[in-house]
Amino acid sequence: MNKSLTNKILITLGFLFIYRILAYVPVPGVNTEVIKEFFTSNADNALGLFNMFSGNAAERLSIISLGIMPYITASIIMELLAATFPNLAKLKKERDGMQKYMQIIRYATIAITIVQAIGVSIGLQSLTGKNGAAAIMIDINLFIAISCASMLTGTMLLMWIGEQITQRGIGNGISLIIFAGIVSGIPAAISGTIDLVNTGEMNFLVVLFIALIIIATVGVVIYVELGERRVPVSYSRKTVMENQNKRIMNYIPIKLNLSGVIPPIFASAILMFPSTILQASTNEYIQMINDFLNPNSYMFNVLTFLFIIFFAYFYASIVFNAKDISENLKRQGGFIPGVRPGESTAGYLNELASRLTFTGAIYLGLISTLPWVLVKILGVPFYFGGTSVLIVVSVALDTMRRIEAQIYMNKYQTLSAVGL
């Protein structure tokens, strides 16, 4: 490993360390004990999911308690708009236009952060602890102004850290921030498991069984995330220098899981949000709906599975543009053997992507509901799985690929410098 790559890794670790420090800086004027008590009692709904993505910063109401989610929300909204409006899609493809596109995302992030910060501040006004202590210890109007400024600053800092990691570190800064937030909770989980074993509340064989399932789950995720269908492409105008009549065969890689981790995130957020809102009501019928949408119920997990399949197809149709691929192939003189260039190629790629998306959607649904199945049917206290393991493994694989690419790049530069 050369000096350049080592510096990039150290820069990345340094910025992630700053991110973890910011998670412990609370918004002025709040009672952190009341906030933590509130999140502890809501660990199984949307608030628990949000707290996990923020690296437990939400339960401390730190200045980065909103996490990087406003930026991700703005990015997803822009992706949907780009898929709807051709002019915006054209802007995204151009070099100068891409800078304007990213600037719009930043402005949208600021707007979303302000709205969410104000909403959180107003919501905390009525929050009290078990002993009657209030969550806000200063004037509400002053608190709204302070918390809005603090959270906006924290989110902007996270955006800056993500961009610095992407430009100066090993890349993919936003994903690494989410990765660091989720991984930060693993030591506490391991410590809690050890305490349960020491006190006799959990058998050591159960822990061993859980460890085996964790290894198997990670193995399946790695296998599927690396899986791809390679569609062969022939370029009639490209020939090998030694043999002018021999065609060079390339391929179009189509991932088995085209939509990534977006479907589980969307499905969990949509299903958990009503439960989080309705749980404060004492109405009998509303409570029935709340029980119906309980994360531990059969119906909730069935709906989660179906929603994941829907969002997998929906998001895959956005990220995979078969028409653009077919036009680029035609422009470069390439074609898929046995398929006519143009619309026939686009139709073939769409059909192939649709079949792969079905398999990928089933995989996402099974991984996301695996923890509940083990807890409900087998009675195993297993909570490692779902969205968290998908994000952790996917980001780890992407980071490894980036490091390998840097290593190969340095080797080529060395060979070029010595004249080989």
For residue range 220-273, list pLDDT tens digits in order: 888 888 888 888 887 765 544 444 555 555 788 888 888 887 888 778 767 766
DSSP 60: G
Residue 172 placed within a domain: yes
Residue 265 placed within a domain: yes
> Is 88 exposed, middle or buried, given 0-12, 13-18 or 19+ CB atoms closer than 10 A?
middle
Residues 332 and 402 both lie in one domain: yes
Cβ atoms of 310 and 362 closer than 8 Å: no
How does pLDDT run along the chain (420 residues), one tens digit per residue?
Answer: 678 888 888 999 999 999 999 988 888 888 888 888 888 777 665 666 677 777 778 888 899 888 888 888 888 788 778 877 888 878 877 777 788 888 888 899 999 899 888 888 888 887 887 777 888 888 888 989 999 999 999 999 999 998 899 888 887 888 888 888 888 877 777 777 787 778 877 777 877 877 787 788 888 888 888 888 888 887 765 544 444 555 555 788 888 888 887 888 778 767 766 665 665 556 677 667 767 766 677 788 888 889 889 888 888 887 888 888 888 888 777 788 888 888 888 899 999 999 999 999 998 888 888 777 776 665 555 555 567 788 888 888 888 888 887 777 766 655 555 544
354-373 pLDDT, tens digit per residue, is 999 999 999 888 888 877 77
Residue 221 placed within a domain: yes
Residue 250 placed within a domain: yes
Rg from Cα positions in the chain: 24
Domain with 38 in it: 1-183
Residues 288 and 169 both lie in one domain: no
Residue 238 placed within a domain: yes
Residue 190 placed within a domain: no
Both tokens of 103, joined, read 């600037």
DSSP 26: B
H-run or E-run covering 68: none
Residues 175 and 290 both lie in one domain: no
- CATH classification of the domain holding 34: 1.10.3370.10
Q: What does the alpha-carbon distance between residue 382 and residue 370 come to, in Å, rounded to a whole number?
A: 9
Residues 164 and 287 both lie in one domain: no
Residues 176 and 259 both lie in one domain: no
Residues 223 and 88 both lie in one domain: no
Residues 219 and 145 both lie in one domain: no
- In sequence order, what are the residues at sequence separation of 6 or more whose Cβ sits closer than 8 angstroms to the Cβ of residue 74? 105, 106, 108, 109, 112
User: Can you spell out the DSSP letters for 181-202?
Assistant: HHHTTHHHHHHHHHHHHHTTSS
Tally of structural domains, the chain: 2
The beta-carbon contacts of 310-315 under 8 Å, at least 24 apart in sequence, are 310/263, 311/259, 311/262, 311/263, 311/266, 311/267, 312/258, 312/259, 312/263, 312/357, 312/360, 312/361, 312/364, 313/354, 313/357, 313/361, 315/258, 315/259, 315/260, 315/262, 315/263, 315/266
Residue 147 placed within a domain: yes
